[in-house]
């Protein structure tokens, strides 16, 4: 039987790749806050600007996109994330296209992260009451395809070479996973308040609730407990971790 992969940690620069503003805050922001607190650098890459994230017919995608970008930047300021890039693909229609893969590869080559933190593209549904958003799966698929082989191999993108962007190998990859699928749990108990505050910067998605609301953290704590599984941690985020040679 194969030995379990040893978790070596994310290195000094973590790049978070997600579909929408708030995706990272739900599933990854505790780890982000913890790693930044340890002196590591974190950058965000968002495939869309979440511009369809409203049921209000008067709030058009043109108006919604900038609102959600500003909310994401505010959440990143709470966490201490240094750089936030929006690729601007249309919300709700994201597919793992060659254009998306190239655009993610470009940012990986430019930022040279030691770790990529993204979605699990195989996560189709949970139980019988939750279907994962197709944009989340597309973002995870495109990010993995960019990590291997597209950002890594010299001849895949002559246009990126012409831009001066040489290949970059990402050694550590983390996919957000349920506790049963995870091989790494990150203990976020100490940074739970920061995660709650960052999530509530996404005001348009919070039904008017702010971080000061006494019940604001209930769901985030419940999620943290669920993700901790039987790890023995109070609150955790759970990942499938890969160490690439």
User: Residues 130, 57, 89, CA angle at the centre, nearest 5°?
Assistant: 65
Kindly report the backbone phi and psi dihedral angles of residue 93, in degrees, each rounded to the nearest multiple of 5, phi listed first. Answer: -125, 20
The answer to whether 25 contacts Zn ion (rule: CB under 5 A) is no
Cα 47–chain centre separation: 10
Q: Which stretch binds Zn ion (CB under 5 A): 18-26, 119-127, 170-178, 233-241?
A: 18-26
Q: Which is nearer to Zn ion, 86 or 157 (CB)?
A: 86
Q: Which stretch binds Zn ion (CB under 5 A): 8-16, 23-31, 65-73, 201-209?
A: 23-31
Residue nearest to Zn ion (CB): 20
Candidates 21, 23, 89, 239: give the one binding Zn ion (CB under 5 A): 23
Q: Return the exposure string of 89-110: e unless at least 16 CB atoms fall within 10 Å of the residue's CB, then b.
A: bebbebebeeebbbbbbbbbbb
Q: Which stretch binds Zn ion (CB under 5 A): 17-25, 178-186, 187-195, 229-237?
A: 17-25
Report in angstroms how near the CB of residue 59 gets to Zn ion at its nearest: 17
Residue 15's nearest CA partner among 94, 111, 136 is 111
Candidates 20, 28, 106, 202: give the one binding Zn ion (CB under 5 A): 20
> DSSP 3-state helix, strand, coil percentages of the chain (rounded to 5)?
40, 20, 40
Residues that bind Zn ion (CB under 5 A): 20, 23
């Amino acid at each position: 039987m194969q030995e379990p992969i040893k978790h070596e940690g994310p290195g000094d620069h973590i790049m978070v790749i997600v579909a929408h503003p708030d995706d990272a805050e739900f599933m990854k922001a505790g780890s982000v806050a913890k790693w930044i607190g340890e002196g590591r650098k974190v950058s965000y890459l968002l495939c869309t600007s979440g511009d369809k994230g409203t049921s209000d017919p008067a709030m058009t995608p043109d108006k919604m996109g900038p609102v959600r970008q500003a909310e994401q930047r505010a959440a990143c300021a709470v966490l201490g994330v240094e750089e936030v890039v929006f690729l601007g693909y249309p919300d709700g229609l994201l597919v793992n296209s060659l254009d998306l893969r190239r655009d993610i590869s470009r940012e990986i080559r430019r930022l040279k992260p030691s770790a990529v933190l993204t979605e699990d593209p195989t996560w189709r549904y949970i139980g019988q009451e939750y279907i994962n958003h197709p944009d989340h799966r597309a973002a995870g698929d495109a990010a993995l395809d960019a990590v291997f082989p597209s950002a890594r191999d010299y001849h895949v993108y002559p246009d990126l070479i012409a831009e001066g962007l040489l290949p970059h190998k990402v050694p550590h990859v983390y996919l957000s996973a349920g506790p049963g699928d995870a091989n790494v749990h990150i203990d976020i108990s100490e940074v739970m308040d920061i995660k709650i505050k960052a999530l509530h910067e996404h005001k348009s998605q919070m039904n008017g609730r702010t971080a000061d609301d006494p019940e604001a953290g209930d769901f985030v704590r419940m999620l943290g407990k669920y993700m901790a599984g039987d790890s023995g941690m109070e609150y955790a985020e759970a990942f499938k971790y890969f160490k690439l040679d």
